[in-house]
Amino acid sequence: MSYSPNVAKFTSGLSPVNEEPKRLGHLLQEAGKLTIVDTDRVLQVQKTENLRFGEIALKLGVINELDLHQALARQFSIPGIAPDDACLSAELVAAYQPAGGQIEQLRAIRGQLMLRWFSKGHKALVIAGIDAGDGASYLAANLAVVFSQLGERTLLIDADLRRPRQHTVFNLGNRPGLSDFLAGRIDSSAATRISAFPRLAVLTAGAVPPNSVELLARPATAPQLEALTRNYDVVLIDTAATADGTDGAILAARIGGALMVLRQDHTRLAAAAAFHTNLESNGAVLVGTVLNQH
């Protein structure tokens, strides 16, 4: 996965004030990763070697890399989920894998988006793939997690009203969502808070309408979306693949910008270029592109 900023070439929270943070060894013991004997061994070695507790524990082989990263995430109050907790889809690598190449790429994309879009007064961004299976829904879900881990009040909206997926990724079931909100049947409180990530809420797609374009293109949609996003810092909108229709371009015109997701050896560059042109003709900005290499 790689990110390119606005180009035509397609290529934490801390512990509360005045509360003493728990030591790493205590956290590893609480998680059942270290025994008291193991902890004493590490502390004895630490007296003679100028290394951190976690480095010595790794060196002695009493913990592994995943144990260490999970304990560090707890120490710095970064929300996450244990690997054996199946409450959310395994696609949420940002939730289950606190370290590794994928999570670092996601954080890098988050940093670029903060710099180039959200720090400039924008609140919402459309995530649009060219074809189904390009990875746009996967990217939107994981970016929502990493933004919430940063402490941003984050809302993920499933606006793919053709093939919605976020309700399965977050294990939310088939509940009222965006289509019902736009039709006036529910209010903005329908967004579901994700218990593992206190700063994250997800609004599912809701009932699949017979014609999503007509629903999204109505003049009332823009003020409705503005009211929906008012209480959040970052709003990510997952949309239908552009090959399925103009839903993404319509929403981008309402929101002002889009992040385009391409899939290596799969996405047709002509289709990507056409989407870029469509954005520009509707006054929207292509904030960047992400190349999914899987």
Reading the chain (294 residues) residue by residue, the pLDDT tens digits are 655 544 333 332 323 333 345 687 877 787 777 888 888 888 888 888 888 888 888 888 887 776 666 666 665 555 556 655 667 888 888 888 766 778 889 999 999 999 999 999 999 999 999 998 899 999 999 999 999 988 899 999 999 999 999 999 999 987 899 999 999 999 888 899 998 888 999 999 999 998 899 999 999 999 999 999 999 999 999 999 998 889 999 999 999 999 999 998 889 989 999 999 999 998 999 999 999 887
**Phi/psi at 188 (5° precision):** -65, -15
Chain centroid to Cα 44, Å, comes to 41
Confidence (pTM): 0.76
Hey, what amino acid is at 162? R
The dihedral region occupied by 58, where left means phi > 0, alpha psi between -120 and 50, and beta the remainder, is: alpha
